[in-house]
Structure 1
Amino acid sequence: MDNLTHSLVGALLGQAGLKRKTGLAMPTLIIAANIPDIDAVAVLLGGSQHLALRRGITHGPIAMVVLPLLLWGIMLWFDRWQTRRGKRPESRLPVDTKWLLALAYIGCLSHPLFDWFNSYGIRLLEPFSSQWFYGDTIFIIDIWLWCALIAGVWLSLRGERRGRQNWRTPALVSMSTIFAYIAANGLITGRAEQLTGNAVQSQFGVVPAMVVANPVPVQFWKREMLWRDATHYGQGSFSVPDAVSLDPKIGKHNMGDAEAVAQMARDKNADAFLFWSRMPVLREQVHGSSNVRVLSDQRFGNPLVQDRFTVAVPAENPEK
């Protein structure tokens, strides 16, 4: 998910009552909810190499143990540093070391949970396994999730400032609504994939090896449907409750061309892309007087983002 969502999740946890457990609770929850994204520095490598590094080691089990400990140590140091300098706010609660550590873990663990909900992918077991996991449940930037999170945090803060005893209630209601929303979207995805698989068999006479219900922006009741078998791929759409529409045009993804794939893998950007890609498509195109092989991913076929998720490599001349 985007970092605004992660930050709001941390803030909502605080407004649900956790902020009263110890001093520095709210900043710890918000920072912890974002800290696994320290792997974002990988974008400095350029090209597509960052795709193979993101959502991996810093989102895996070792990081989930180590990162909260590091943050805990930094927050304890910060509190003591402010105290020595006479800068510690008088209104800050005393720091409870056990609760501060617990909140660092709670905030940090919320990050891979929410990252898993979208179709981009996350390696939850890295470095023990490089398997990608996909929730296919909500879009990577979900405006309805934003609305629920912002409403819960804002209403809770307003109630707290007005001295209301039930100031935690809006945050708790928001939290319950969010998980009900996510669960409902999970059911929509399951229904969409089942019906689309049946429709592909009926319309094209093939049993798809993979069917993915790709969440779309704003319209949570719809899915972009993607499917493929050993040689072909296609797409379509789904809308609640059971409206499936398949594009009659299908194409060859060419991932069975072992020689071409091996050639692509010799390029560091293409190799990283192949490691990350879930539904790769390989095409050969003519650019001027030379041919290039282009890798893309079905999940990111939208023209607005397609250029960010493609790799082009000059085709090798088989006669050389």
Structure 2
Amino acid sequence: MDSLSQIALGSAVAIGVMGRRTAVWKAATWGAVAGTLPDLDVVIDHGDALLNMVLHRAESHALFWLTLFSPLLAWIVSRIHREGPLFRHWWLALWLVLITHPLLDAMTVYGTQLLLPFTNHPFGVGSMFIIDPAYTLPLVVGVIAALRMKDAARGLRWNVVGLVLSTAYLAWSALAQAHVEQQARDSLREQGVAAERVLVTPAPFQTLLWRVVALPDDPADPHFHEAYVSLFDGPGSVRFAAHDRGAELMAAHGQTAPVSRLAAFAGGFVKLSTKPNGQLRISDLRMGQEPDYVFNFDLGPLDAVGSVPATQVSERPPVGPALRWIGRRIAGDEGPPPWSPR
């Protein structure tokens, strides 16, 4: 999730655990700090844009390592504030802040390696967009209330309400995702498309409009299928559009290190294409929409894939028209999006 969400969650959790045992500002401050720490791995350069992507949310987001780190952080905080008797409470508070960070990240589709060093599997529920005001706002309001209200008990109750509402929203997102996935799978069967791997993620900033991507079971099938589903759509089949996924290129280059690495990280939801300059490009189908994807990587010429460091090329549709289309599509307008394939 975005930094503001993680800061707000960290502050809310720390305030909730520490309560009146310490000043609210102390709990809020250290909750924000601990809620930010796991994302500092972005400053590590692995020498390659694709590696930087797949190795983000790795050790710094592992529950095991964060659990080992939490008593040290709690000891430092309790020493700074001369609150040695509160060490165990600080330990619990900061441990919860540290582990809720990657657990929240795992609700997005990116991929969070929660169980390192035991497995590097990238967990990603995919029911939350990376920025969603409906999740973040209750946390922010609760934390501000706890910091500003003269009635401390009332402020702490507001903080609890913010945590409850934000957690309930996470549960809602998972239920909505499951509903859309079932609807999409039913439509695929009706249309004779054999696709075991179906990805359902929310369109930006909300959980009412969902993007569905289906990969065919047959590796020789040259297409993947994409659709948008609004929770306000009437009865009827989901309308899928077929797009080229570069099956021949995958057959030729799928075993090269950069292609296999991203394909494994993305659960197979990738496509290959060639650019006019002869470069092979791999795109992560999970984040973006056809034809614009956040994570595109140029891997070098076809006869020397992986011989040069991968370079990232992000593509996004125009923000204003895209947001207006999302609003119309939520309401049931099935007109084509402004980023229709070029």
How much does 1:32 deviate? 2.0
Unaligned runs of 5+ in 2: 306-342
Q: Decide whether the 8 Å contact of 1:280 with 1:298 is kept in 2.
A: yes
**In structure 2, distance between residues paired with 1:317 and 1:123:** 30
After superposition, give the CA deviation of every residue in 1:6-47 in whole Å (9 maximum; x if it has no partner): 110121124436243346433332222222223212346342
Q: Decide whether the 8 Å contact of 1:253 with 1:281 is kept in 2.
A: no
**In structure 2, distance between residues paired with 1:14 and 1:53:** 28
Q: Decide whether the 8 Å contact of 2:28 with 2:143 is kept in 1.
A: no
Mapped pair 1:20 → 2:13: no
The structure whose Rg is larger is 1
**In structure 2, distance between residues paired with 1:188 and 1:30:** 30
Alignment-derived partner of residue 216 in structure 1: 203
How much does 1:197 deviate? 1.0
Alignment-derived partner of residue 86 in structure 1: none
How much does 1:314 deviate? 0.9
**1:237-316 pair list within 5 angstroms:** 237-241=228-232, 243=234, 245-254=238-247, 257-263=250-256, 265=257, 267=258, 270=259, 272-288=261-277, 291-302=278-289, 306=293, 308-316=295-303
After superposition, give the CA deviation of every residue in 1:136-195 in whole Å (9 maximum; x if it has no partner): 221111111221111111223232xx2354221211111111122111111100011111
Alignment-derived partner of residue 146 in structure 1: 136
Mapped pair 1:67 → 2:72: no
Taking a change above 3 Å as real, the CA distance of residues 210 and 152 of structure 1, as seen in their structure-2 partners, is same
Letter in 2 for 1:238: V
How much does 1:305 deviate? 6.8
Taking a change above 3 Å as real, the CA distance of residues 277 and 164 of structure 1, as seen in their structure-2 partners, is closer
How much does 1:114 deviate? 0.6
Unaligned runs of 5+ in 1: 81-92
**In structure 1, distance between residues paired with 2:19 and 2:162:** 16
Secondary structure, counterpart of 2:72 in structure 1? helix
Q: Decide whether the 8 Å contact of 2:284 with 2:295 is kept in 1.
A: no
Letter in 1 for 2:186: N
Alignment-derived partner of residue 5 in structure 1: 5
* Structure with more contact order per residue of length (Cα contacts < 8 Å, sep ≥ 6): 1
Alignment-derived partner of residue 83 in structure 1: none
Query: Identity of counterpart residues, as a percentage?
Result: 22
Taking a change above 3 Å as real, the CA distance of residues 315 and 227 of structure 1, as seen in their structure-2 partners, is same
**In structure 1, distance between residues paired with 2:77 and 2:152:** 29
Mapped pair 1:106 → 2:96: yes
How much does 1:77 deviate? 4.5
Q: Give TM-score scaled by structure 1 length.
A: 0.82
Alignment-derived partner of residue 162 in structure 2: 174
CA RMSD after TM alignment: 2.8
Mapped pair 1:198 → 2:200: no
Q: How many residues align?
A: 297
Q: Decide whether the 8 Å contact of 2:138 with 2:165 is kept in 1.
A: yes
**In structure 2, distance between residues paired with 1:22 and 1:297:** 46
How much does 1:225 deviate? 0.9
Taking a change above 3 Å as real, the CA distance of residues 246 and 298 of structure 1, as seen in their structure-2 partners, is farther
**In structure 2, distance between residues paired with 1:157 and 1:118:** 29
**In structure 2, distance between residues paired with 1:62 and 1:255:** 41
How much does 1:52 deviate? 2.1
Q: Decide whether the 8 Å contact of 2:147 with 2:155 is kept in 1.
A: yes
Taking a change above 3 Å as real, the CA distance of residues 69 and 253 of structure 1, as seen in their structure-2 partners, is farther
Alignment-derived partner of residue 52 in structure 1: 54
Letter in 1 for 2:247: N
Letter in 2 for 1:31: V
**In structure 1, distance between residues paired with 2:85 and 2:212:** 50
184-193 or 308-317: bigger deviation: 308-317
